[in-house]
Each structure stands twice: as structure tokens, then as C-alpha cells.
Amino acid sequence: MDKFVIQGGAKIDGEVRISGAKNAALPLLAAMILADSPITLKNVPDLKDVRTLVKLIGGLGITMSYEGDTVVADTSTLDNQFAPYELVKTMRASILVLGPLLARYGSAKVSLPGGCAIGSRPVDQHLKALEALGAEIEVEAGYVLAKVDGRLKGGEVIFDMVTVGGTENILTAAVLADGVTTIRNAAREPEITDLAQMLIKMGAKIEGLDTDTLVVTGVESLHGCEYSVVADRIETGSYLAAAAITGGKVKTTHTDPNLLEAVLDKFEEMGAEVTRGDDWIELDMMGKRPKAVSFQTLPHPEFPTDMQAQLMAVNAIGRGFATISETIFENRFMHVPELARMGANIQVDGNDAIVTGVEKLSAAPVMATDLRASFSLVLAALVADGETTIDRIYHIDRGYEDIEAKLQGLGVQIQRVSETS
């Protein structure tokens, strides 16, 4: 298993190019199944989850080409609607092929997902929503078996809780349904809007973008198009956090400031100078130690749960103390014991973490626990005295493209060490 070895004491300085968003790329890839002519997706990040989904879609018989940051799919060769456990178990997002397969081909057999260890992410919301459009669904032996006679029928879908994956699944099903579908309590994340925009480019009729009510008028077929994946707002925020924690300066390019206003506000509250351009953001900490800031994670456009751990790391060396409330996922403070090993002072009380800033952290061997949270350990390592080893970095590789090259470009001494066990 690979490890990162990071030398503390670097001050971040430079420019970093942000990749396409994994959380947007995955539903967009799944939606390619809906196109009845070849479809091209650009700015696709080279990540394990992306490669897994490309493989899974290829396994349906669809002709896939994946070169550089571009994926081209031709669905005319599709010969089955089966997503096996071997591929699905490594990544929850595989469930996103359910909606498109059902809508276009009338049946699907998809394994129940595996993936991150963050709380109980319920797939039942997805299934209930598809049933509202007339799908017959059974779950047996760990597989979801879904079928529909003819086309799905438009209907009213009301989610009991905000679910990004559920909204994506029902959106990609409703676009080919017969009639009008209203999706209430829909998620409002930028990745949903990105998906809706590609579907519209393919010929879908969707209204209510960026709101919690999406109205979809079904069409008989969708055609191919060329589309680019939206910038990764979490990767953007993570590199900005690296400048904040080290008192440094970074310019993130090929990104969009509008996607993470809530996070940028917090960096400004910490004392950073944040400059926004059309497709870039610059953060300058001007050598200062950041002030600890409190926040609560909430659905978009509020503060994203996927930035919680990174700001916790910055708070760990901040001036004063701060309370962080996690309202989205249970079990999402797994990085706390790891940060504590490096000298952070953090008390967890239910869904709240109280961080009291310390002047410095010290290097220690730590272990990555989930994808986004693990970047917090990289951040802590940047300011720790000595050399930190981070184990199980396959979690980080799932969500960050070329992380060591990007950090080296900003002046960090980081190397990947492969262990043959």
C-alpha cells in the first residue's frame, strides 16, 4: 500500500490548476447511457472512481474510449443491463447507472453499493423515487432488480431527506419518462446543475435548476453532445486551505468562485485576503496565523461537509477556539483521532467538534480514513515539526488527481512511497 511522506515547514506559494469534479463526472458518465448517438465528455479527472465507472459502463457492452481527460461513449453496442458486485462494491456512485438503464432499456440489475465508511447513506430514497415513476423494484441477494413495462411514467417525487445521488438518479430517469415529473426537496449542489445542463444539451427538458424543485418534461430520446465537467470546488477549497494553514499564498485556476462562496467567506473570517476572478481564486494569508472559525455543514449553498475536515485542520493551529457542527453525515469525525496524534486539541461531542488552536503540530504516523477527510492530514503535515507519514492514501487518490505533483509545484516536500507487503 502506498504512503505519503511529507516534510513539515513548507510555506505554500504558487499556482495550481484545478481538475474536473469527481462528484460531477460520475453522474455525467452514468448519463451517457441515455444518448442514442456518440457523446463526448471533457475535463474528466483521472481518478480511480472514474476509471471504475468507465469500466462498469463498458461492461454493459457500451463502446468507451478514455484518453487524456476525454471520454467518448457509443451506446449502440450495449448488450446487457447488469452492474456486478465486483465493480460496484468499490464505489457507491455505481448506483447512478440504475436510473439511466431503467429509463432507456426498461430493466436493470445493479448491485447494492459499497464505498466510503461514512454513515448510512440510504439507497432506499433512490428506489422509492423510481417506484413513484412506475418502476417495479425488488432487492434480492444484494442486487437491485428494476423493471418497467414500456416507458416510465412522469409523477411526483418527494424526497424525505436531501440526497444528491437520489436526485441524480431520478433526474436521469425522468428525462425519458412519459409525461411531467416534479422532484421536490431536490438537492441543489452544483453537480446537479451540471448534470441538468448536460441533459438539456442532449435534448432534455428540465426547469428549476439551482432550486429544490426540479420539473422534468420527458422526451422520447436523447442525443449525444460534447460537454465539459464542472471544476472541483472541494479540490479548490483544499488547496486554498493549504495556503491558509501555512500562512502562504496560492492561486487556483480553471475553477469557479461562485461554487464555494460559503467556504471563501470562512477563509476571509480567518484573516485571509481572497481575490476572485472569473475562473480563478487567489488566497493570501500574508504570513499570518489564521483565526479559528466556527461553522456548520449544511446542504449547498451553505458550508459543504466535504470541506469540514480541511477547515478543522486549519482551526487546529488557529488563534482561539471554534465549534464545528456536522449535520450531513454521521460518523464524519474519523480524522479527529489522527489529528490528535499530531497534537491537535479537539473534543468531540456528538455531531459537534470543539477545536482549541495550538501553536504547532508535530509529525506522527497517521492513517487516511475517508476521501475528503484525509486531505486534512496532508494539511496538518504541512505545518507539523518533522516528517509525517500518511498511510492508506488510496482514500486520497480516489478524490484528488495528481496530488503530489500539484503540492510539489507549490513548494511542498512530499513523496509517495510504495510498500510491497
Cα→Cα distances 212→31, 72, 159, 181, Å: 21, 31, 10, 14
In which band, very low, low, confident or very high, does the pLDDT at 118 lie, cut at 50, 70 and 90?
very low
Q: What is the pTM of this model?
A: 0.91
Interatomic CA distance for residues 330 and 343, integer angstroms: 24
Residue 189 has what pLDDT?
93
Render pLDDT for 35-60 as a digit per residue (tens, 0 to 9): 999 999 999 999 988 999 999 999 99
Q: Which of 117-131, 137-151, 400-414 has the lowest mean pLDDT?
A: 117-131
Render pLDDT for 135-153 as a digit per residue (tens, 0 to 9): 999 988 889 999 999 999 9
Interatomic CA distance for residues 341 and 405, integer angstroms: 26
Work out the end-to-end distance of the chain between its first and last CA atoms, rounded to an integer number of angstroms.
8
Render pLDDT for 64-115 as a digit per residue (tens, 0 to 9): 999 999 999 999 999 999 999 888 888 888 999 999 999 999 999 999 875 5
Q: Which residue has the cell 423493471?
A: 147
pLDDT > 90: percent of the chain: 88
| Residue 211 burial by Cβ neighbours in a 10 Å radius (0-12, 13-18, 19+) | exposed
pLDDT at residue 370 greater than cutoff 60: yes
Render pLDDT for 323-347 as a digit per residue (tens, 0 to 9): 999 999 888 999 999 999 999 999 9
Averaged pLDDT for residues 389-393: 96
Residue 152 sits at φ, ψ, to 5 deg, of: -65, 155
Interatomic CA distance for residues 364 and 113, integer angstroms: 34
Residue 326 has what pLDDT?
96
Residue 120 has what pLDDT?
56
In which band, very low, low, confident or very high, does the pLDDT at 119 lie, cut at 50, 70 and 90?
low
pLDDT > 70: percent of the chain: 97
Rg (CA), the chain: 22
* Residue type at 138 in one-letter notation: E
Cell of 199: 441533459
Interatomic CA distance for residues 347 and 383, integer angstroms: 21
In which band, very low, low, confident or very high, does the pLDDT at 26 lie, cut at 50, 70 and 90?
very high
Mean pLDDT for all residues in the chain: 95
Render pLDDT for 253-303 as a digit per residue (tens, 0 to 9): 999 999 999 999 999 999 999 999 999 999 999 999 999 999 999 999 999
How many Å separate Cα 30 from the centre of its chain?
15
pLDDT at residue 122 greater than cutoff 80: no
Say which of 44, 101, 116, 176 is annotated catalytic: 116
116 is catalytic: yes
